């Protein structure tokens, strides 16, 4: 795996290849509720913060960032803003680390979507300070983990960076999530649904290892299973709540599933081919430019499931169709005839470090076959139950 920093978990936790331990990682504290942003000063007092670096986009500074800054100032904490420009690339990370280095900040607060959150972890690591994550979308499970996915300045997935510590605090304001677009919450469900199926593969395969190079814990797998169960039962009503900008119990449960259960589940439960395919879709410009991580993961999950169980693949495809996630290549602006794009995806998937966790050996040909099978299953499901939800989420934005 391509990494860019000097910390790697494998030599710490998995130095004895014959006796690999089980390891569970988690943030120190996870706080979720409607209005919690207004109490950030209280939470940061747990870290004895006096001066906090704030990574937030220009747009975020007008909205959620302003609330956080107010709360910090009311608690006597000095905020130092660094404006996030939108990409979790080394160029951008080094720019912020350079800017904040001389400012004597004692923690870094990253306020925004998945890329801002991941960039924040990289910057905090370079500054040697704890990171506080404030996700403003529930579109991915990046907030809780001790790793960041890096991208080129053009946005193509380019590697992973690991950190010795998980975030000190993860603070999720469900009022903020309820006022974001429904499509983001739904994309988060796509990312979260993969967690259980990838963790299940790792749990059942005695040779599988997690992101730390270790064996999965039952605790992480149980969180993945709870995550999938919550999605099936409450995903649709949570999407309806966000469409109406309301915080309901279902929304609280789905935000927790997308952020906490999925985050703990993937990091210490293990990944498999679903995420390999998802990351590989970023190398296809039409997909990269128009779709969210969780939407690519949805297609990756269906592809993994057709390798395992057609019945489960259909059940998941029906759920995805109900909430508006892509279930066939047409819903990623591709078709089964785009062989050059699909060859890129299949080839890049072979480079993904966790495909070896699958119980069967994969080849570019077998991956391609499964992508097409998943696509055909998705077409059949779309024929049977329609694509109303997908079209509602995508007509305005793609």
Contacts to Zn ion by CB under 5 A: 191
Residue (106 or 225) nearer to Zn ion, CB: 225
Nearer to Zn ion, 293 or 375 (CB): 293
Please state the closest distance from residue 271 (CB atom) to Zn ion, in A: 8
CA 35/CA 260 separation, integer angstroms: 18
Q: In the bound complex, what is the minimum distance in angstroms from residue 189's beta carbon to Zn ion?
A: 12
Separation in Å, CA 232 to CA 189, 304, 319, 320: 10, 18, 7, 10
Closest CB 141 distance from Zn ion, rounded Å: 6
Distance (Å, rounded) from C-alpha 353 to C-alpha 2? 10
Q: How far is the CB of 71 from Zn ion (least distance, A)?
A: 30
Q: What are the contacts of 199-203 at 24+ separation with CB within 8 A?
A: 199/224, 199/225, 199/265, 199/266, 199/269, 199/270, 200/224, 200/225, 201/270, 201/272, 201/304, 201/308, 201/357, 201/358, 201/359, 202/269, 202/270, 202/271, 202/272, 202/357, 203/269, 203/270
Query: Shortest distance, CB of residue 149 to Zn ion, whole angstroms?
Result: 8
- Which residue's structure tokens are 């975020």? 60
Q: Which is nearer to Zn ion, 108 or 278 (CB)?
A: 278
Please give the helix or strand (H or E) that residue 286 lies within, else none.
helix 285-290
Q: Give the residue with the Cβ less far from Zn ion, 168 or 189.
A: 189
- SS3 label, residue 334: coil
Nearest distance, CB of residue 187 and Zn ion, angstroms = 10
* Half-sphere exposure for 76 (CA within 13 Å, toward CB): 4
- Whichever of 9 and 294 has its CB closer to Zn ion, that residue is 294
CB nearer Zn ion, residue 149 or residue 208: 149
- Phi and psi at 108, nearest 5°, equal -125, 125
Q: Which is nearer to Zn ion, 71 or 282 (CB)?
A: 282
Q: Where are any strands of DSSP class E within the chain? A: 29-33, 51-57, 78-84, 107-112, 131-135, 147-151, 157-162, 169-173
Closest distance to Zn ion from the beta carbon of 176 (Å)? 21
């Amino acid at each position: 795996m391509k990494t860019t920093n000097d910390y790697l978990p494998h030599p710490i936790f998995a130095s004895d290849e014959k006796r690999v331990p089980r390891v569970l990682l988690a943030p120190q504290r996870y706080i979720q509720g409607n209005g919690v942003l207004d109490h950030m000063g209280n939470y940061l007092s747990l870290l004895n913060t006096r001066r906090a670096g704030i990574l937030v986009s220009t747009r975020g500074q007008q909205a959620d960032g302003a609330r956080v800054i107010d709360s910090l100032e009311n608690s006597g904490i000095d905020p130092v803003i660094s404006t996030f420009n939108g990409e979790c690339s080394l160029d951008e990370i080094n720019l912020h680390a350079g800017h904040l280095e001389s400012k004597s900040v004692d923690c870094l607060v990253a306020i925004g979507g998945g890329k801002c959150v991941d960039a924040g972890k990289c910057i905090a690591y370079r500054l040697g300070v704890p990171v506080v994550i404030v996700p403003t979308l529930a579109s991915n499970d990046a907030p809780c983990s001790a790793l960041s996915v890096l991208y080129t300045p053009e946005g193509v997935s380019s590697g992973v960076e690991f950190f010795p510590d998980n975030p000190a605090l993860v603070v999720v304001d469900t009022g903020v999530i309820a006022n974001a677009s429904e499509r983001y919450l739904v994309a988060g469900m796509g990312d979260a649904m993969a967690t259980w199926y990838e963790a299940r593969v790792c749990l059942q395969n005695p040779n599988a290892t997690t992101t730390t190079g270790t064996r999965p814990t039952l605790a992480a797998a149980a969180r993945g299973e709870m995550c999938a169960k919550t999605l099936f039962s409450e995903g649709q009503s949570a999407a309806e709540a966000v469409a109406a900008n309301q915080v309901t119990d279902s929304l609280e449960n789905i935000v927790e599933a997308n952020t906490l259960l999925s985050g703990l589940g993937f990091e210490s439960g293990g990944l498999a081919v679903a995420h390999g395919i998802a990351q590989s879709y970023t190398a296809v410009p039409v997909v990269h430019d128009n779709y969210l991580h969780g939407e690519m993961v949805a297609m990756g999950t269906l592809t993994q499931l057709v390798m395992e169980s057609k019945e489960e693949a259909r059940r998941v495809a029906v759920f995805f169709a109900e909430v508006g996630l892509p279930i066939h290549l047409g819903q990623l602006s591709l078709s089964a005839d785009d062989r050059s794009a699909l060859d890129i995806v299949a080839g890049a998937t072979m480079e993904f470090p966790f495909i070896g966790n699958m119980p069967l050996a994969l080849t570019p040909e077998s991956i391609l076959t499964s992508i097409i099978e998943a696509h055909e299953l998705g077409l059949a499901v779309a024929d049977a139950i329609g694509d109303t939800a997908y079209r509602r989420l995508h007509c305005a934005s793609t």
